[in-house]
Amino acid sequence: MRSAFHEELDSIGMTLLQMAGLVKIAMVEATTALLASDLTMAEKVIAADSVIDDIQHELDARTINLMARQQPVASDLRTLVTSLRMSADLERMGDLAHHVAKQARMRYPNSAVPAELVPIITSMGMVSDKLIEKLTVVMEHRDTVRALEIETDDDEMDKLHRDLIEALLADDWTHGIETAIDMTLLGRYYERFADHVVSISRRVYFLVTGEYSSN
């Protein structure tokens, strides 16, 4: 019974990694769609979000069922409760990629991003990808050292977000209110995506140590 239980625990962990992989692809493709005004890519990301949602619902049902049947205690219970929270974070990250893709679709065939802001959005996309790449390693290996590094890595996204807001508030902004709102939303989507990566890394740290990181 305990062997079967731990096999199910391992399966939940693998499903979380699958979700992380899908979310990574979603944000990369959403950023590509945004910067290239690629409607086909945007539609692909928007459609794929339902797959991530379905995986989350199925995973949460499995996790709750396992808790009910096995009545786990101590570290096993911590693993299951943490899994529920991580799946919620990953599902929300998928939603944020979906929002980026919808922004690309809404402004098609025009670009949603003014030329002078393309470098910032490009960098935000790259930082998002780097963060979730490291997060996947953290999740797979329960790497507490890298989990703590992610908190520092997130500072790069925060700086880009500040740079974006500064550009929007500059006296020489010429693109009007509607574009400013678009860019404010996009900046928020990327910033929140990174925040969820930090949240999951903290959950992994707690899962391994039983303590919350002090960063």
Residue 88 · residue 14 · CB < 8 Å: no
Report pLDDT for 215: 63
The C-alpha R_g of the chain, in whole angstroms, comes to 19
- Which amino acid appears at position 127 of this protein? V
Q: Distance (Å, rounded) from C-alpha 20 to C-alpha 211?
A: 23
> Domains in the chain, please, with CATH?
2-209 (1.20.58.220)
Structure tokens belonging to residue 75: 């570290």
Residue 49 · residue 94 · CB < 8 Å: yes
In 3-state terms, what secondary structure has residue 142?
coil
Q: Distance (Å, rounded) from C-alpha 213 to C-alpha 86?
A: 16
Across the range 1-6, mean pLDDT stands at: 77
pLDDT digits (tens, 9 = 90+) for 104-160: 999 999 999 999 999 999 999 999 999 999 999 999 999 999 999 999 999 999 999
Q: Which of 127, 120, 60, 47 is nearest to 90 (CA)?
A: 60
Label residue 88 by pLDDT band (50, 70, 90): very high
Q: Which of 139, 191, 140, 141 is nearest to 164 (CA)?
A: 191
pLDDT digits (tens, 9 = 90+) for 156-214: 999 999 999 999 999 999 999 999 999 999 999 999 999 999 999 999 999 999 888 86
Report pLDDT for 102: 98
Residue 60 · residue 108 · CB < 8 Å: no
Label residue 79 by pLDDT band (50, 70, 90): very high
Q: Distance (Å, rounded) from C-alpha 83 to C-alpha 117?
A: 37
Q: Distance (Å, rounded) from C-alpha 77 to C-alpha 91?
A: 21
Per the document, the length of the chain is 215
Q: Which of 116, 93, 97, 117 is nearest to 105 (CA)?
A: 97
